[in-house]
Chains A and B, each alone.
Chain A
């Protein structure tokens, strides 16, 4: 199985919401679609799913144009939606039957996911009687009900408390173990780092960075230096040509030009017999890469 997105473009009036988006997912796992608000992620997802017509490009699933209504695709939309006045269990059966499931299989699947997500007690309730978090669980169940091969999760963890966030993560992990293809859009960079091997970062419709996350990080090198000592080390840092980026209770952060610059500072600290609490020279986090790539765009909202 594979998903290929090639040169996809989507225009609203004169504005290109997505410009030349291309990526491949050749093996199961989580692919991250990242970007600021308004970057074009949700539009890209809707185009991939065929809900919005594209100006050009192609989306193929197993080397055939993706027709989402003919494939086993699960979708958790960014803007959650349930029928507010209808009974939850009837809505679930409806969504399952629309996916082509018979009532018996739908019942088994609903039972499993309602148990797994701990929402059994809400079966007979109306959607508008549930909290936002519980509505989100219902919708994740709706996305997973047909055991999809391709799962698209648009901001799956937004608005969840830590307990439910962990529950969602464990389910995503299960899906990865079941060799599912997952596209995830999120603003929670640690979560993306936790799951994703490959990423695309979009900004105002443009792809500003894409590739394997580890390789991207390696490309940057270990240039993030974090130091905590019991004495002021700033004069030593200055001698090494380092300017602090931030001061936190956990120490002072610097951006080095190369690893050697960091090693030089370490040498000076040791020679000065300063007690070192923390010295960390690491690759940039996804958060830092993201901010670097799109943070300078004042127009990004």
Chain B
């Protein structure tokens, strides 16, 4: 039996690897980076945010009844209304913004006052210009020089409010009723359909692309790092001459199977340990921070974040147990594929210092596969993941381990297509495993110059 003893090789390799200082150090460093990223994403916006504008709330008789956070940083606005629309700014009181109408003659004095002011006050001038059919309105807001008092963004927010008021008043001044106004302002919703299904909007596409890119980066790092470790483990055994001792107890094929599976377990251990703790940190900190808003854990009033949150929610709602199993299967297949190649490379060298040179071609192939999967979203935007480059990346065994999980999770692939692509990857793996089985025992005790691919092909033909 060619594979007898693989489980003992796997057990020993697994235990020794997870006990090793490099593995523990890499897990700790990765965990620290992830935790810092999550905590930074959650708390940095809050830490860097401007202090809230707290205002005192009084009752009708002027008695203080409490405090609340104002929507705007601006506390007072001087208004020169030359719009001829007789704009009603009384609503500003509800926004905790004091307003004072000024005349044309006061503008220069007020402008000087506002410019030098250390209070959160601005001057707004609303003017009507042009003639006939070329009439226009202009809102000019002047703020204090000091950015510590008010920033331009605060002015833009208030200008938007004034703009809405101007628009509303323009229409009502023509005699349009509120009902007619509601009709005019009714939003227009639109979508593009293909074969009865709605084509994703740009935000949804971006969310999908984000998932694909993040997934391919994570898988590339995981698969390639642990494949390299497999090569390292085999090369170490060979160069330290332990292999000869092992081969009196187990066949070469059992050694490589044991090593590859041990490294797969090590990778899964790392994912579970680092991933699990990262998720815990995410769950604990997100309800207090920005990621909680993005992932819909806490409510936000920011419309853009609401939309992003909704799309993320849609994307993640589409992920079921089948999708997760598919991703795990792809990870394992991809890992085995790359680890077998790396293990074979590790067996072709006699000295450990030759390993990096020997691994360079694999690195190039792997990086090419990764980029193919990484750029897939760029080529398939608007095509629902169906572009040629995308298809290529799904079926090429060097890129499919990186590309398929993202495509499945983002819903870019149908179930049938995913099944076909996974099946093709599995077939390639089996064929490659047969190749490895045929050449491995011929090269494992080889000493001297590195064995080349053509030599291995000769071995397969001979055997």
Measured as residues with beta carbon below 8 angstroms from the partner, the interface class of chain B is 20 to 34
CB neighbors of B among A59-82 (8 A)? 68-69, 73-75, 77, 79-82
Closest CB-CB distance, A143 to chain B, in whole Å? 8
Bound-complex Cα distance A95 to B242 (A): 10
Q: How far is B232's CA from A84's CA once the two chains are assembled, in angstroms? A: 13
Q: Is A256 an interface residue (CB 8 A)?
A: no
**B249 & A95 in contact (Cβ 8 Å cutoff):** yes
Contact: B249 with A79, CB < 8 Å? no
Within 8 A of A (CB), among B222-261: 236-237, 240-251
Residues of B within 8 A of A139 (CB): 245
Q: Would A53 and B442 be within 8 Å (CB), given that A69-B248, A94-B12, A95-B249 are in contact?
A: yes
Q: Which residue among B8, B246, B248, B442 has the maximum number of chain A CB atoms within 10 Å of its CB?
A: B248
Complex Cα distance, B247 from A244, in Å, reads: 51
Asked whether, in the complex, the Cβ of B245 is within 8 Å of the Cβ of A81, the reply is: yes
* CB-CB contacts below 8 Å: B413-443 with A: 441-442
- For B1-38 the 0/1 string (1 means CB < 8 A from A) is 00011001100100010001000000000000000000
> Which of A77, A83, A84 meets B244, CB within 8 Å?
A77
What distance in Å separates the Cβ of B350 from its nearest Cβ neighbour in chain A?
Answer: 11
Interface string of B374-386 (1 = CB under 8 A from A): 0000000000000
Contact of A82 among B5, B8, B20, B242 (CB under 8 A): B242
Q: Which residue of B5, B8, B12, B445 is within 8 Å of A46 (Cβ)?
A: B445
Q: Is the CB of A69 within 8 A of B241?
A: no
User: Contacts of A80 on B, CB cut-off 8 Å?
Assistant: 241
List, in ascending order, chain A residues with CB within 8 A of B236's CB.
83
A130-143 CB mask vs B (1 if < 8 Å, else 0) is: 00000000010011
Q: Could you tell me the distance in whole angstroms from the C-beta of A125 to the nearest C-beta in chain B?
A: 15
Q: Taking each of B5, B16, B245, which has the highest tally of chain A beta carbons within 10 Å of its own beta carbon?
A: B245
The 8 Å CB contact of A69, one of B5, B12, B237, B243, is B5
User: Which residue from A81, A82, A90, A98 sits with its C-beta under 8 Å from B249?
Assistant: A98
B270 → chain A, closest Cβ, in Å? 19
Verify A49–B246 contact, CB threshold 8 A. Answer: no
- Evaluate whether A85 and B242 lie within 8 angstroms (CB atoms) in the complex, with A51-B445, A52-B445, A98-B8 already known: no
- Pick from A46, A51, A52, A68 the residue with the most CB of B within 10 Å: A51
Contact call A97/B8, Cβ cutoff below 8 A: yes
Beta-carbon contact of A79 and B8 below 8 Å: no
Residue of A84, A98, A100 touching B246 (CB-CB under 8 A) = A98
CB distance from A197 to the nearest CB of B (A): 25
Q: Are B247 and A79 in contact (CB under 8 A)?
A: no
Q: Which B residues are in CB contact (< 8 Å) with A46?
A: 244, 445
Say if the beta carbon of A86 comes within 8 Å of chain B: yes
Closest to A148 in B: B248
Which residue of chain A has its CB nearest to the CB of B16?
Answer: A86
B247's partner among A51, A90, A94, A100 (CB-CB below 8 A) is: A51
Find the A residue at minimum CB distance from B4: A69
Most central of A49, A69, A79, A83 by chain B CB within 10 Å: A69
Binary A-proximity of B49-62 (CB < 8 A = 1, otherwise 0): 00000000000000
A75 interface neighbour in B5, B12, B245, Cβ under 8 Å = B245
Query: Which residues from A are CB-within-8-Å of B241?
Result: 77, 79-81
| Bitwise interface map of B from 94 to 114 toward A, beta carbon under 8 Å scored 1, else 0 | 000000000000000000000
Within the complex, which residue of A86, A97, A142 is in contact with B245, where a contact is CB–CB below 8 Å?
Answer: A142
- Residues in B neighbouring A217, C-beta threshold 8 A: none
Which residues of A are found within 8 Å of B445, using beta-carbon distances?
Answer: 46, 51-52
Task: Identify the interface centre among A52, A81, A95, A99: most chain B CB within 10 Å of its CB.
Answer: A81
Could you tell me the distance in whole angstroms from the C-beta of B88 to the nearest C-beta in chain A?
81
Residue of B nearest to A83 (CB): B242
Q: A69 CA to B241 CA in the complex, in Å?
A: 18
Could you tell me the distance between the alpha carbons of A98 and B236 in the complex, rounded to whole angstroms?
19
Given the interface pairs A81-B243, A82-B242, the reply to whether A68 lies near B248 with Cβ below 8 Å is yes
Contacts of A86 in B (CB 8 A): 16
Determine how close the nearest CB of chain A comes to the CB of B462; give it in whole angstroms. Answer: 9
Residues of B contacting A69 in the complex (Cβ-Cβ under 8 angstroms): 4-5, 248-251
Q: How far is the CA of A52 from the CA of B442 in the complex (A)?
A: 7
Give the residues in chain A near B16, CB-CB below 8 Å: 83, 86, 90
Knowing A52-B445, A77-B245, A90-B16 are in contact, say whether A98-B250 is a contact too (CB < 8 A). Answer: yes
Q: Smallest distance from the beta carbon of A108 to chain B beta carbons, Å?
A: 19
Task: Considering the complex, give the chain A residue whose CB is closest to the CB of B244.
Answer: A77
Q: How far is the CB of A92 from chain B (nearest CB, A)?
A: 11
Residues of A within 8 A of B240 (CB): 81-84
Separation of A86 and B243 alpha carbons in the complex (Å): 15
Residues on the A chain within 8 Å of B242, using CB:
81-83
Nearest residue in B to A146 (C-beta to C-beta)?
B249
Task: Note all chain B residues with C-beta closer than 8 A to A79.
Answer: 241, 244
Contacts of B4 in A (CB 8 A): 69
**Residue contact A95 to B251, C-beta cutoff 8 Å:** no
Known: A46-B445, A85-B20, A94-B12. A99 touches B244 (CB 8 A): no
Inter-chain contacts of B244 with A (CB < 8 A): 46, 51, 75, 77, 79, 81
List the A side residues contacting B5 at CB < 8 Å: 69, 98
B48 → A minimal CB distance (Å) = 46
A139 to B245, CA, bound (A): 9
The CA-CA distance from A143 to B16 in the complex, in Å, is 22
- Complex Cα spacing A208 to B249, Å: 32
Q: Would you mind naming 8 contact pairs between A and B with Cβ atoms under 8 Å apart?
A: A49-B247, A49-B248, A68-B247, A81-B243, A83-B240, A84-B240, A98-B9, A100-B249
Given contacts A75-B245, A97-B8, A97-B12, 7 further A-B contacts (CB under 8 A): A51-B244, A69-B249, A81-B242, A81-B243, A83-B240, A83-B242, A98-B250
Q: Which residues of B contact A (CB under 8 A)?
A: 4-5, 8-9, 12, 16, 20, 236-237, 240-251, 441-442, 445
- What residues of chain A have their CB less than 8 Å away from a CB belonging to chain B? 46, 49, 51-53, 68-69, 73-75, 77, 79-86, 90, 94-95, 97-100, 139, 142-143
Q: Which 9 A-B pairs have the closest CB atoms?
A: A81-B241, A98-B249, A81-B242, A77-B244, A79-B241, A75-B248, A94-B12, A51-B247, A81-B240
